[in-house]
Amino acid sequence: MKAVLLCAGEGTRLRPLTLARPKHLLPVAGRAVLDLVLCDLAEAGVDEAIFVVSPEGRLHREFVGDGSRWGMAASFVVQPEPRGLADALSWAREEVGDERFLMYLADDLLEEGVSDFSRSFFEGHAAASLIVKSVEDPRRFGVVVVEDECVTRLVEKPKQPPSDLAIVGVYGLGPEIWPAIDSIELSARGELEITDAIDHLVSTGRRVECHPTAGFWADAGSPEALLRANRFFLGCMERRIDGDVDGASSVEGRVHVGAGARVTSSELLGPCLIGEDCVIEGSRIGPNASLGAECSVRDAAIEDSILDEGCRIEGVRPGLARAILGRRVAIRNVAGVGSAPLRLLLADDSVVIAGGE
């Protein structure tokens, strides 16, 4: 079973984090977004993954390797410039051939995975199938109109949505999609829209089905969505203490302390994740905080935040909240405004120090 993963997006909403690496490799609950996606696809039976990357896709290649970590064969194609999802998909046409396949926007995370959706699509005969979800503000998404479980209309980011059903970034597509892409023109945004291609299938009498989901879904392409995904996946963890927590510390709820970590005179409030070889002293971590390996936190409070590996936080009061820090970020002797904790978005190797050091 083949899957095409679209990974060529620039991740502008997550800058400056994405200046150093693509959004698909940012961590959620201690794991890269792309790792979570590939595990879902492997569980669904995908054994061949085709990655559409930008010309700067070296880090995707290094992370995925040959795909064997997920039991897949991996190959890569390049989208030379961002011209829409349908254009991105078209670069994988030769690798896919005439087979039915999944297309996955590689920053989308789903509670339910894709196994049931995949099984339904590959056992059926529809030209295309979409996962859809009811959302409060469908203007930010591709939107569908559905009658008798079939899609009758698709609109990309409409100002006046015809329904509240947004397209989740997972598609089942048959070979009919290729002539449909050939038949569409650039949209007003200057892109080849996948919604236009699928709408072409509908207008020419092809069957397009939908698969509603009520479970968690996040397009982890913005700070808010990344933090929301972090909260959800932290909440799915089991309590596990592999590191050392001293008697002067307290642990409450779903807390994971990685091997080699040391926690002294601190408070851990679940759900939270303390990565391997972290050092936590005189601090409060959680709820909804995820710390990568080899972080150190002293005299600070961290909640509802993501810290990648190697961060150094010291003397930060009242603390960090709704913060996302890249690798090896250092923050020392910094206080928030009044009682408000700091909300920061910092790229790898950033340094924030107060007090004239």
- Are residues 269 and 311 part of one domain? yes
Task: Classify 66 as helix, strand or coil.
Answer: coil
Select from 108, 37, 116 the least CA-distant residue to 74.
37
Per-residue pLDDT tens for 319-355?
A: 999 999 999 999 998 876 667 888 999 999 999 987 6
Share of the chain above pLDDT 70, in %: 98
Whether the Cβ atoms of residue 289 and residue 274 lie closer than 8 Å to each other:
no
- Within 10 angstroms of residue 111's Cβ, the number of other Cβ atoms is 13
How far apart, in whole angstroms, are the C-alpha atoms of residue 3 and residue 237? 27
Domain boundary among 179, 203, 233: 233
What does R_g of the chain's alpha carbons equal in angstroms?
A: 22
What range defines the domain where residue 136 resides?
2-233
- Are residues 188 and 317 part of one domain? no
- Are residues 17 and 56 part of one domain? yes
DSSP labels, 83-121: --HHHHHHTTHHHHTTS-EEEEETTEEETT-SHHHHHHH
pLDDT (mean) for 73-84: 93
Per-residue pLDDT tens for 213-272?
A: 989 998 888 999 999 999 999 999 999 999 999 999 999 999 999 999 999 999 999 999
- Are residues 245 and 219 part of one domain? no
Tokens 């592999």 belong to residue: 242
How far apart, in whole angstroms, are the C-alpha atoms of residue 110 and residue 106? 11
Tell me the pairing of strands 330-335 and 279-281.
unpaired
- Are residues 243 and 221 part of one domain? no
DSSP labels, 201-229: HHHTT--EEEEE--S-EEE--SHHHHHHH
Element (H, E) at 280: strand 279-281
Note the pLDDT of residue 136: 87
Position with higher pLDDT, 71 vs 10: 71
Share of the chain above pLDDT 90, in %: 75
Report residue 149's pLDDT band, with 50, 70 and 90 as the boundaries: confident
Per-residue pLDDT tens for 85-137?
A: 999 999 999 999 999 999 999 999 999 899 999 999 999 999 999 999 998 88
Q: Take residue 249 and report the two structure tokens written for it.
A: 């510390």
Backbone angles phi, psi at 241, to 5 degrees: -120, 100
Per-residue pLDDT tens for 286-320?
A: 999 999 999 999 999 999 999 999 999 999 988 99
The pTM of the full predicted model, rounded to 2 decimals, is: 0.92
Note the pLDDT of residue 317: 85
- Are residues 62 and 88 part of one domain? yes
- Are residues 321 and 216 part of one domain? no
- pLDDT above 90: residue 82: no
Report residue 59's pLDDT band, with 50, 70 and 90 as the boundaries: very high
Domain boundary among 233, 253, 288: 233
- Are residues 341 and 224 part of one domain? no
Task: Classify 324 as helix, strand or coil.
Answer: strand
Phi-psi region of 45 (alpha: psi -120 to 50; beta: other; left: phi over 0): left
How many domains are contained in the chain? 2
Report residue 159's pLDDT band, with 50, 70 and 90 as the boundaries: confident
Domain boundary among 233, 251, 274: 233
- Are residues 226 and 81 part of one domain? yes
